């Protein structure tokens, strides 16, 4: 499987644009996410906690409606991990952890991925936190 093509705007921002290689490209428009993600109905306690900690703490506009399916999957894998942890099932915990980590990198949930986030031309430097009760 081949690596996806890096958008021209990203190449220019990173200083990797070369006119001899990418000069014939047209400037692609980067899609912006619109609307807030749809929160799943009937979530368990672990899922509600995950959604509040993860989705609600990101700046508005980072996730959009188009990201809802990936966010739901990450939420489901988190719940599967917590359930396997309660049962003491190490194999299921490892599987859920692996899948959750894969999705979390796509959703910029890790500290390294968040440093690469750009929103409206500015790097997102601070993630909102909420006061603990």
CA angle 78, 101, 124 (to 5 degrees): 100
Q: Contact at 8 Å (CB) between 60 and 36?
A: yes
- What domain range is 82 assigned to? 33-123
1-5, 19-23, 88-92: the lowest-pLDDT one = 1-5
Report yes or no on 110 lying in a domain. yes
How many domains would you assign to the chain? 2
Reported as a single tens digit per residue, the pLDDT across 34-74 is 778 888 888 889 988 988 888 887 777 778 888 888 888 99
Which residues are within 8 A (CB) of 45 and not within 5 positions of it... i.e. 6 or more apart?
Answer: none
Residues 89, 118, single domain; the answer is: yes
Q: Which residue in 69, 71, 82, 64 sits closest to 104, CA to CA? A: 71
Residues 23, 40, single domain; the answer is: no
Residues 100, 59, single domain; the answer is: yes
Residues 76, 53, single domain; the answer is: yes
Reported as a single tens digit per residue, the pLDDT across 8-45 is 777 777 777 788 887 777 655 555 667 788 888 888 89
Report yes or no on 58 lying in a domain. yes
Report yes or no on 49 lying in a domain. yes
Q: Which two tokens stand for residue 100?
A: 């959750």
Which residues are within 8 A (CB) of 22 and not within 5 positions of it... i.e. 6 or more apart?
Answer: 8, 11
Residues 40, 96, single domain; the answer is: yes
């Amino acid at each position: 499987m081949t690596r996806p093509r890096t958008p021209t705007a990203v190449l220019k921002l990173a200083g990797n644009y070369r006119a001899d290689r990418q000069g014939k490209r047209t400037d692609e428009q980067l899609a912006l996410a619109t609307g807030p993600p749809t929160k799943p109905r009937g979530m368990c306690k672990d899922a509600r906690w995950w959604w509040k900690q993860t989705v609600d703490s990101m700046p508005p506009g980072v996730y959009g409606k188009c990201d809802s399916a990936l966010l739901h999957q990450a939420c489901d894998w988190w719940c599967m991990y917590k359930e396997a942890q309660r049962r003491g099932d190490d194999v299921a915990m490892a599987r859920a952890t692996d899948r959750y980590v894969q999705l979390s990198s796509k959703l910029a949930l890790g500290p390294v991925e968040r440093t690469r986030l750009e929103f409206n031309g500015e790097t997102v430097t601070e993630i909102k936190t909420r006061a603990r009760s």
